[in-house]
Amino acid sequence: MECPHLSSSVCIAPDSAKFPNGSPSSWCCSVCRSNKSPWVCLTCSSVHCGRYVNGHAKKHYEDAQVPLTNHKKSEKQDKPQHTVCMDCSSYSTYCYRCDDFVVNDTKLGLVQKVREHLQNLENSAFTADRHRKRKLLENSSLNSKLLKVNGSTTAICATGLRNLGNTCFMNAILQSLSNIEQFCCYFKELPAVELRNGKTAGRRTYHTRSQGDNNVSLVEEFRKTLCALWQGSQTAFSPESLFYVVWKIMPNFRGYQQQDAHEFMRYLLDHLHLELQGGFNGVSRSAILQENSTLSASNKCCINGASTVVTAIFGGILQNEVNCLICGTESRKFDPFLDLSLDIPSQFRNKRSKNQENGPVCSLRDCLRSFTDLEELDETELYMCHKCKKKQKSTKKFWIQKLPKVLCLHLKRFHWTAYLRNKVDTYVEFPLRGLDMKCYLLEPENSGPEHCLYDLAAVVVHHGSGVGSGHYTAYAAHEGRWFHFNDSTVTLTDEDTVVKAKAYILFYVERQARAGSDKL
């Protein structure tokens, strides 16, 4: 938006010596000393944390307004207001009086000059840090970012994602998808969108909620995010450009309230699928698919039109059988799917931990069996029998007609009651290797034994009591090691920790033909 308060609020010199030392993205709040989401006031150059940390930047603005209430209006207008601040990571500008991001500048271009100065400080700090690390490595000094695995020293190459304000639901899904190798590699190998011509060539675009640019590409921003996650950077990547595109094309996810990670994953995959169908960066969908020779025609499952990498990787087919209990008429329907949503059987819903003694532990097999078992439809779901020519009582059963390359299993932990949405906090035991899906197939004899076995690639976990609150993290395997992704923090973990997690979404990858298997 066009902010009218810049002239009275932007008062600091672009090369002000009042700025703290070090890189702007790691500056600390002057009140709580947190280095998460630092914002610099463009009136006095003081640094405070954002509203989704401890909110000291907003409090700085509010405190500056209190002495002004006793002054005359003319005096109030002449005095600097401390209303405008800049994000030290994304360099976007925000006005607290307008309560929105700012796209304009002062007549002297001070905002852009401050932005460029902060970028220079960041680049200088990065270069100095790189030289320091190189010197330490050359001198064989102790490097705290190196880990010892199986007797050899190796570095953590995983990169965290900044939380932009309750965006942990997005971060957990992105980190999970980035560790599904075939899916991730496909996007990273796509051609990049060409830089703009003219005055904006090579210049970073600062997106805000008020911009009307409809020429956005979810595929391109998704590609850039995936490329950034495994480059070995120790600084968390900020996915604000991707989040901006999400706001543009998925209105349900606008704002900074907590969202459902599963719902976001389905919207994300659906929109990637639709955009790839329409072509990307001037390249037709068919040409893009041909680039990846591993995606053969036999592995494609069409959902809402032609096949793309989304359906080739995640797409499976269900057979839905409905039988009339009066005349015995059978109806069959084939439904494509990208994931399976599984109920946690009611007899296990009070079992909250693996070691709790009251009854058996719920397993993933129990959830799959509940999904595929024969079920009698209740009075609200009567089947319209074409032979009886009226609605009749009936039974329903699901079979899996075709398994996907990546089997995504969603455990239905949130259920609506009369007044609120409750969480089922039951622990569900799941295997790390050898999930055998053969017994759920419609024609198991047509599938080889290895094509029915799946190994775990990633797990999304919801911590907390409700869908509108709490926190999402993810566990994922990369090159034989398990990592825990908690927004900007990435830590190495072990299999024992992973299997104790209360899974919300599980990503299983089809096992390639090889000797040996551990079945569920």
Active-site residues, by number, are: 168, 471
Structure tokens at 176: 């999970």
The span from the CA of 418 to the CA of 209, in Å, is 35
8 A C-beta contact, residue 137 and residue 145 = no
Which residue type is seen at 416? W
The span from the CA of 80 to the CA of 68, in Å, is 10
For residue 406, count CB atoms less than 10 angstroms from its CB and return exposed for 0-12, middle for 13-18, buried for 19 or more: buried
Of 258, 256, 272, nearest to 223 (Cα)?
272
The span from the CA of 368 to the CA of 342, in Å, is 7
Of 145, 86, 153, 143, nearest to 119 (Cα)?
86
Q: Phi, psi at residue 234, to the nearest 5°?
A: -85, -5
Place of tokens 């990546």: 406
Of 264, 260, 238, nearest to 487 (Cα)?
238
8 A C-beta contact, residue 242 and residue 225 = yes
β partners of residue 49:
38
The span from the CA of 520 to the CA of 508, in Å, is 13
* 3-state class (DSSP) for residue 460: strand
